[in-house]
Structure 1
Amino acid sequence: MHYLVGTDSVHTTAAICDYLDDRATGDDTVTVISVAPADDPTARRDADEALNVATVRLAAVGDVEIDRRSGSGTPADVLCEAATDCDADEIVIGTHSGDPDATPEVGSSTRRLLAVADRPVVVVPIPEL
C-alpha cells in the first residue's frame, strides 16, 4: 500500500501517524508532503518540523519519503498532483490546519481535496490541545 500524507504542522502529522500506526507496515510506502508558501518563513519552518516528526514516527514503515512543496496551486491541487506522481493508493490528511487556534470544522483545503481527488481520501481528526 502506498499512502500519501498531506500535512502542515506537527499536530497534524502526529494525528496522521497515530492513524497509520495500526495500518502501515514494513511492506508499505508513505510519502509525506507538506505544502508551504515559499514566501512565509513561519509556514516553511512548521512544514519542516512536520516532516521531521513524520520520519521519526513512521520509522517502522518500509519506505518513508518526505517532500516540502511550495506549489503554484492550492494545497489540494498540489496533493492531487503528488498522489498521481507517486501513484498513491490513499491520501491521508487532517480535518483542518494543525494550528492550535484553528476552528475544529473541516478546513477549505480538506473540502477541496474531497471534491477533486481521484482516489480514496481519509480525513483524520486533529485532537484539541
Structure 2
Amino acid sequence: MHYLAGTDSVHTTAAICDYLDERATGDDTVTAIAVVPPDDPMARRDGDEALNVAPVRLATVGNVATERRSGPPADTLAEAARELDVDEIVIGAHGGDPDATRALGSTARRVLEDANRPVVVVPIPEF
C-alpha cells in the first residue's frame, strides 16, 4: 500500500501515525506532505516539524518520504495523490491547532468531496 499523509502540524502527523501504526507494514510506503503557504515562515517551520515526526513514528514502515508543498491544501493533496498514485489518503479532521474546533475542517471536507480514492479522516486529540 502507498499512503499519502496530509499534514500541517505535529499534532496532525501524530494522529495520522497512530492510525498507520496498526496498518502500515514493512512492505508499505508513506508519503507525508505538509502543505504550507510559501510566504509564512512560522507555517513553514510548523510544516517541517510535522514532517520530522513521520519517519520517527513510522520507523517500521518500509519507506517513509516527506516533502513540503505550497498551494491550496485540498488541491495540493489531490494533485499529490494522483502524481504518486497512492492507494489511500490520510488526513486530520481539522487543522492541527489545539484550539481548533472538533468539527470537520474545510480542507477535510474538500478532500472527501473530490477524492477518487479512499480517504481516512483521523480525529485530532485534544492536548
Same fold (TM over 0.5): yes
C-alpha distance in 1 between matches for 2:125 and 2:98: 9
Output aligned runs, 1:76-87, within 5 Å. Answer: 76-87=74-85
The alpha-carbon deviation at position 101 of structure 1 amounts to 1.1
C-alpha distance in 1 between matches for 2:55 and 2:8: 14
Q: For residue 88 of structure 2, what is the amino acid of its counterpart? A: E
Consecutive unaligned residues of structure 1, counting only runs of 5 or more, are: none
Where does residue 93 of structure 2 map in the other structure? Answer: 95
CA RMSD of aligned residues (A): 0.6
Q: After TM superposition, which residue ranges in structure 1, 4 or more long, deviate above 6 angstroms?
A: none
C-alpha distance in 1 between matches for 2:32 and 2:60: 15
Consecutive unaligned residues of structure 2, counting only runs of 5 or more, are: none
Output aligned runs, 1:1-129, within 5 Å. Answer: 1-71=1-71, 74-129=72-127
The one-character-per-residue Cα deviations of 1:8-29 (angstroms, maximum 9, x if unpaired) are: 0000000000000000000000
C-alpha distance in 2 between matches for 1:64 and 1:54: 7
Q: For residue 108 of structure 1, what is the amino acid of its counterpart? A: S
Q: For residue 110 of structure 1, what is the amino acid of its counterpart? A: A
Identity among equivalent positions (%) equals 74
